Chain A
């Protein structure tokens, strides 16, 4: 068997530790001047691909892919610093891609780049759609194992443990296949300085949507985005008497 040719799609999203704010127009989340990082689930996917190689599974190459604004290249570089071999960036500043559009795009990447394993995050933390992996499996007609918490590959055979309600489920399938990653799969590594330097020299191909034959036009329109109502803060009382009168005031006693 020839080795694994892995594709890992990554997305640049608002850092999960940052509290997102709705923009003034109430149409989307404010992204200007907000710290962005790699979607955490995608970090798990990269880590898993690199660990497969480190576990002596024959890996031919790890390709990282992203579609989005120019800054997404930083995310691709980070993935390469973690251990991916090369990157493709479809530069798209304006159109916000929907899961189906991304899945169609990825299908073409898989075919053009002759991939036999795709590891995706189970969802991106900005739109929480959680659809791309499944759609891609459907479009390619490949087996899929979603929400993986453990992945082992021997020869053509993939064994994936996934977390389901009340326990775990173990799936087996033959390559090629689609895996989506869940939180307990691994703990992503830090990008080390020497690897960050090396990543700068790794090949990164820049493409546009026109290089692929896909229809990515939007099918959905965001009508309105609103923040949840703010929590009403509690009050403090000075002493027991204060508390009793407060409780009376509220009709609790």
Chain B
């Protein structure tokens, strides 16, 4: 830190220490043990993206209190007894391992649990960071080139060895870890940026490049990676593309289906699909790369992507509002688009319950004095701070004078900007504070978006499961999310995981969403958690077509088995 601002970080540290102390004191209440062996867990720790996973039975595993030794995560095969190992898959032998060792030619590229005991090393690849899913893989391969990936898959396909592709392993639906003994194919060693075009902003990079590194690389040239999410310090761009991650910048820059210009992928039979186009326009036949975007590694493995990065905005402003009703929130959203059009970069919704959870869990002070049923966070990004401030001021004056917004604050400096964002980004972690949380990540048409939260709360009030005291499993039902994308995060904060709560939620939530033609997974994908519920969002015809595609590209079904559709 350069000398001219050396004094302020001290303040920041103090506040951090303060928070840390509070967390420490609350920890004994926390029943979900945090990952302790994962090297990157600390980076994830405070930015847990909205975990969506439906209340899987894995949640219900009785966990010993953190005071005793670290609880083992239950095997996915135990929490999902209906999923049986597919007997057509071959079991790994020492010969197979030798083949891969010779192929990769590097000790550190193979984690071998077949011919020796490597359980400690394998643990990080077998369990997800939420400690909800745990597979039984005995072999991890870390290829360093597309050719190696091709040879691995060709061999696996021939021998009927199942494969689980893995990026940063930050997924929220159990898609990134094996269920049984699938070989984990980890892309972390394919981490080179191949090229960046300073004029067009097109980045071409290996799949294993960490999202934050890709963004920092783009930033050096004055560009921004069109995707941003909580796990950016760990997740890999290949995994982001394979899961079609949504995140915080989607409102402004659109989804990866539009931003990814080309892909390099390897099919299960070893075919290298070189479609690493850097063209924005290319109307020559079926756009097959779209199948890999959001395909969750079930058709092949993405090894490189080319993606268009927009210009980075030098001027960023953030405002935080309190509103009296959901109608006013809708009105504010409409007005913000009208007044801020091209500079609007985020419109986030938080209800009062979510803000209370955040305040009570972190000890942070909320920005507004008064209390309102709804809060919104608006971010603008533009090229000229004077122009932006003028637009923002006109907008603020308008929504205040029309009484759409009851109260609000505007960040006056970078520090305030970050603490306003924390009120939104901190909710996910805060909702786990009292023991656990049932999370749903849903797309719902805007006019009805919040009805689900209200109805869900009523449901728990009337069935007596929710209350202030410890004998009620449910602490609160809160809603927040990316308003700009009609994406709601429904969180049911609980003191303990309880079958009765789960029964009250499922399939009720999915049926509710289905009635409104919503989606049961807006941005987190299907993985293992949502697989059996996909019928609520997709018709039989759609599912049949999808399965046909799967059969064409992966006839032996070796890619990421037991998951997706």
A191 touches B409 (CB 8 A): yes
Query: Which of A184, A196, A197 is packed against the most chain B CB atoms within 10 Å?
Result: A196
Classify chain B: how many residues form its interface, as a range.
35 or more
A69 CB to closest chain B CB, in angstroms? 13
B414 touches A35 (CB 8 A): yes
Known: A37-B412, A78-B412, A183-B10. A194 touches B407 (CB 8 A): yes
For A126, the closest partner residue in chain B by CB is: B4
Check: B72 CB closer than 8 A to any chain A CB.
Answer: no
- Report Cα–Cα, A194/B14, bound state, in Å: 31
Q: What A residues does B411 contact at CB under 8 A? A: 190
A197 touches B4 (CB 8 A): no
- Report Cα–Cα, A14/B2, bound state, in Å: 12
B464 CB to closest chain A CB, in angstroms? 39
Q: Which A1-28 residues have a C-beta within 8 angstroms of B?
A: 14-20
Q: Which A117-174 residues have a C-beta within 8 angstroms of B?
A: 123, 125-128
Q: What A residues does B106 contact at CB under 8 A? A: 238-239
Q: What A residues does B2 contact at CB under 8 A? A: 19-20, 227-228
For B389, the closest partner residue in chain A by CB is: A74
B409 touches A193 (CB 8 A): yes
B414 touches A193 (CB 8 A): no
A37 touches B367 (CB 8 A): no
- Report Cα–Cα, A194/B403, bound state, in Å: 11
A40 touches B8 (CB 8 A): yes
A38 touches B418 (CB 8 A): no
Q: What A residues does B367 contact at CB under 8 A? A: 190
Q: What A residues does B319 contact at CB under 8 A? A: 193
Q: Which B359-408 residues have a C-beta within 8 angstroms of A?
A: 365, 367-369, 385, 396-397, 400, 405, 407-408
Q: What A residues does B8 contact at CB under 8 A? A: 16, 40, 125, 183
- Report Cα–Cα, A183/B367, bound state, in Å: 20
B488 CB to closest chain A CB, in angstroms? 26
Check: B5 CB closer than 8 A to any chain A CB.
Answer: yes
Check: A187 CB closer than 8 A to any chain B CB.
Answer: yes
B373 CB to closest chain A CB, in angstroms? 18
Interface of chain A, main secondary structure: loop
Q: Which B434-456 residues have a C-beta within 8 angstroms of A?
A: none
B62 CB to closest chain A CB, in angstroms? 40
B415 touches A17 (CB 8 A): yes
Q: What A residues does B107 contact at CB under 8 A? A: 238-239, 241
Q: What A residues does B10 contact at CB under 8 A? A: 183
Check: B471 CB closer than 8 A to any chain A CB.
Answer: no
Check: B413 CB closer than 8 A to any chain A CB.
Answer: yes
- Report Cα–Cα, A194/B413, bound state, in Å: 18
Check: B552 CB closer than 8 A to any chain A CB.
Answer: no
Picked from A20, A187, A239, the residue with its CB within 8 Å of the CB of B108 is: A239
- Report Cα–Cα, A227/B4, bound state, in Å: 11
A128 touches B412 (CB 8 A): no
Q: What 0/1 readout, one digit per residue, does chain B (99-123) give for beta carbons within 8 Å of chain A?
A: 0000000111000000000000000
Check: B3 CB closer than 8 A to any chain A CB.
Answer: yes
Check: A57 CB closer than 8 A to any chain B CB.
Answer: no
Check: A251 CB closer than 8 A to any chain B CB.
Answer: no
Check: B534 CB closer than 8 A to any chain A CB.
Answer: no
- Report Cα–Cα, A78/B389, bound state, in Å: 13
B40 CB to closest chain A CB, in angstroms? 15
Check: A235 CB closer than 8 A to any chain B CB.
Answer: no
- Report Cα–Cα, A124/B409, bound state, in Å: 25
- Report Cα–Cα, A191/B319, bound state, in Å: 10
Check: A29 CB closer than 8 A to any chain B CB.
Answer: yes
Q: What B residues does A234 contact at CB under 8 A? A: none
Picked from A16, A126, A183, the residue with its CB within 8 Å of the CB of B413 is: A16
A128 touches B400 (CB 8 A): no
A16 touches B408 (CB 8 A): no
Q: What A residues does B4 contact at CB under 8 A? A: 14, 20, 29, 125-128
Q: What 0/1 readout, one digit per residue, does chain B (279-317) give for beta carbons within 8 Å of chain A?
A: 000000000000000000000000000000000001100
Q: What B residues does A78 contact at CB under 8 A? A: 412
B11 touches A190 (CB 8 A): no
B107 CB to closest chain A CB, in angstroms? 5
Check: A208 CB closer than 8 A to any chain B CB.
Answer: no
Q: What B residues does A19 contact at CB under 8 A? A: 2
- Report Cα–Cα, A20/B414, bound state, in Å: 14
B413 touches A193 (CB 8 A): no
Q: What 0/1 readout, one digit per residue, does chain A (28-57) give for beta carbons within 8 Å of chain B?
A: 010001010110100100000000000000
A-B pairs, top 3 by smallest CB distance, nearest first, are: A17-B414, A37-B413, A190-B409
Give me the interface of B with A, judged by CB distance under 8 Å. Answer: 2-5, 7-8, 10-11, 14, 106-108, 314-315, 319-321, 365, 367-369, 385, 396-397, 400, 405, 407-416, 418
Residue pairs across A and B with Cβ atoms less than 8 A apart, 7 shown, are: A19-B2, A40-B11, A192-B368, A193-B321, A193-B407, A196-B396, A241-B107
Inter-chain pairs besides A193-B408, A197-B400, A239-B106, 7 sampled, C-beta below 8 Å: A37-B414, A40-B413, A128-B7, A190-B320, A190-B409, A193-B396, A193-B409
